[in-house]
Amino acid sequence: MIGDAQADSAIIDAIRTRRIELGDAAPRFALVLCECDDVDSIRKTLSRIPDEVGHWLEEVLIMLGDEATEITEAAPELRAESGLDLRFHRPLRSTGPGALRKAAFEYALGKRFDQLVVMRGDTTHPPEKLPELIHLALDEPARFVIASRAMSTAGRENTRLRSFVPNRILGMRLQDYRASFRLYPCEALARIPFQLDSDDDRFDVEIVLQLRALGIPIHEAGLLAPDASRVERGFDAGACATAIEYRLHQLHFTRNGRYLVDRDIHYTLKRSKTGSHVQIVAAIEPGSRVLDLGCSNGLLARPLLEKDVRVTGVDAGPGERLSKELAEYLQHDLERPLDLPLERDFDYVVCADVIEHLKNRAQLLRGARRYLKPEGVLLISTPNIALWFYRLSLLVGRFEYGPRGVLDETHVHLYTSSTFRREVEKAGFTILRQRATSLPFEVVFESTGRSRLVRAIESAYHGLARLWPSMFAYQLILEAQITTLDEEPSADGGGVSGDDDPAPASR
């Protein structure tokens, strides 16, 4: 029966209390046992699971290797002895460490579990530590936890040496990139392409970097007992190679689909002075009224409120995570005609990185004229597909869509400088000014924007972008005024001509 081994009583009491507090809202946990060599090892592992943990585990998935006949024959006996809901699964082809975990992840996502614990089933990992992993998951559900070894001084120094180079490359502080006793939030697993990872033991390193790319908090807990005999020594060439691969992708020297993760909210406010957000905010006069079409969650509202600007946001979403600085929000699909319950009293209409997502682009721009004052300004931005990087990429046969950037997978139309200007002019606007943005170095280098080096690089590059925008501008920003007002012609000659042809003069 489960519960033979002793676990930390304080942790057991804490998760027992938490279960009572959460009730039906308690997260759903599953346990995966990999590297299951034989029936005796599995039996010992299951017998060491504390009884209280058994109440949290909806299923225990045992991943089988090539020689699994003995284990499958013993399945009924193992279920009866453990009292747990045991499931047995063997991947279709490869049974490498990575392949086993991929299959387990797919199963867990299909069953809609909230948290997934992965450990070895050969008695290497202590099930007595499962309560502590559950406690960590309850404390911060979005966190990815690596259970590593609590090293002796000598072991710690050796591990530091192995992880020193990857840590320096990645800016991380992990002790062991290959520790395989882990707790995964399933929501994060659903947003990374783990099927592109290796089937062998490189998988453990690659998935750490995928979760890092996603922005998931990574916590390393020294839950395992020191064991110098199990500490690998020397330089970890595989982890270093994977770290370099990730950095080259991040710097856009290569494009690796493994690290094209789904960040959910793709766009955040960029505070670089050479970026589109700051330039758009700078172009808006204090005390103005702004209609932000495609406002997302209201990224521009906060910096504009500091200028006493009132922002009305429009987007297709339900408005669940809106910035509180938005004065008003209207839910509207921008692919539909822009028929909003608003008047022509906006000083600015902002379309920041919107039209490239739409099929009915001309309809949106023509509709926007209805809400601008006669002297109002359209501020519109879009990525530049003729950027030098994409020209070179095409030259070598690479055109990779991803979760964000110029080749965002949700873009339906891409612009060069000339086609962007033409699109705006066709919609009845006169272009007053064109601005160019630098490459988003704060994103490329994962900088907060305070680095002097990053600011210097941005400033130098921005000079090139302004000098030759069609080649070097990452995004293009246009300021435009209405050429044609949407007003009905007046019979007495006092009105302003609209889109329709004027009535013929009487003879």
pLDDT in tens, 95-112: 889 999 999 999 999 999
Provide CB contacts within 8 A for 160, sequence distance 6+: 175
The reported pLDDT for the residue numbered 3 is 44
Q: 67 and 152, same structural domain?
A: yes
Distance, in Å, from the CA atom of 403 to the CA atom of 410, rounded to the nearest integer, reads 8
Lowest mean pLDDT among 8-17, 322-331, 488-497: 488-497
1: in domain: no
The reported pLDDT for the residue numbered 419 is 97
232: in domain: yes
193: in domain: yes
394: in domain: yes
507: in domain: no
* Sign of the alpha-carbon torsion through 343, 344, 345, 346: positive
DSSP class of residue 399 equals -
Count of alpha carbons within 13 angstroms of residue 108, beta-carbon side: 33
Q: Mean pLDDT throughout 10-28?
A: 89
Amino acid 385 reads: I
Distance, in Å, from the CA atom of 421 to the CA atom of 416, rounded to the nearest integer, reads 9
Q: 442 and 341, same structural domain?
A: yes
- Report yes or no: 2 and 81 within 8 Å, Cβ to Cβ: no
Provide CB contacts within 8 A for 342, sequence distance 6+: 291, 312, 330, 371
Distance, in Å, from the CA atom of 424 to the CA atom of 431, rounded to the nearest integer, reads 8
Residue reference for tokens 């600015």? 348
Lowest mean pLDDT among 69-73, 141-145, 207-211: 69-73
489: in domain: no
Instruction: Give which of 195, 199, 205, 194 is closest to 237, Cα–Cα.
Output: 205
The reported pLDDT for the residue numbered 404 is 74
Pairing of strands 115-120, 29-34: parallel
Residue 162 has pLDDT above 90, yes or no: no
The CATH number of whichever domain residue 174 belongs to comes to 3.90.550.10
Distance, in Å, from the CA atom of 45 to the CA atom of 117, rounded to the nearest integer, reads 14
Last residue of a domain, one of 227, 259, 291: 259
CB atoms within 10 A of CB 109: 15
Q: 456 and 314, same structural domain?
A: yes
Distance, in Å, from the CA atom of 200 to the CA atom of 178, rounded to the nearest integer, reads 12
Mean pLDDT of the chain: 86
Last residue of a domain, one of 211, 230, 259: 259
Q: 280 and 253, same structural domain?
A: no
- Work out how many domains the chain is built from and give that number: 2
Q: Which segment, 16-20, 74-78, 116-120, 449-453, is predicted with the most confidence on average?
A: 116-120
Q: 286 and 235, same structural domain?
A: no
Distance, in Å, from the CA atom of 364 to the CA atom of 331, rounded to the nearest integer, reads 15
Q: 319 and 228, same structural domain?
A: no
Q: 220 and 160, same structural domain?
A: yes
Amino acid 32 reads: V
Q: 108 and 67, same structural domain?
A: yes
The reported pLDDT for the residue numbered 308 is 96
- CA–CA distance from 447 to each of 274, 406, 444 (Å)? 14, 20, 8
Counting residues of the chain whose pLDDT is more than 70, the rounded percentage is 86
CB atoms within 10 A of CB 444: 13
The CATH number of whichever domain residue 469 belongs to comes to 3.40.50.150
The reported pLDDT for the residue numbered 474 is 95
Residue 232 has pLDDT above 70, yes or no: no
Residue 448 has pLDDT above 70, yes or no: no
Instruction: Give which of 242, 275, 270, 196 is closest to 436, Cα–Cα.
Output: 275
Cα torsion 218, 221, 226, 227 to 10°: value is -40
Q: 233 and 144, same structural domain?
A: yes
Domain housing 415 = 276-482
Q: 454 and 311, same structural domain?
A: yes
Q: 332 and 248, same structural domain?
A: no
Lowest mean pLDDT among 6-20, 152-166, 350-364: 152-166
Distance, in Å, from the CA atom of 502 to the CA atom of 507, rounded to the nearest integer, reads 15
Last residue of a domain, one of 195, 226, 259: 259
240: confidence class by pLDDT, cuts 50, 70, 90 = very high
The reported pLDDT for the residue numbered 322 is 86
The reported pLDDT for the residue numbered 249 is 84
Q: Where do the H-state alpha helices sit in 236-327? A: 237-250, 276-283, 301-305
β-partners of residue 118 are 32, 182
Q: 237 and 133, same structural domain?
A: yes
505: in domain: no
Q: Is 487 helix (H, G, I), strand (E, B) or coil?
A: coil
| Predicted confidence (pLDDT) per residue in 359-403, tens digit | 999 999 999 999 999 999 999 999 999 999 899 989 988 888 877
Provide CB contacts within 8 A for 25, sequence distance 6+: none
* Sign of the alpha-carbon torsion through 57, 63, 67, 69: positive
497: in domain: no
Residue 7 has pLDDT above 80, yes or no: no
318: confidence class by pLDDT, cuts 50, 70, 90 = confident
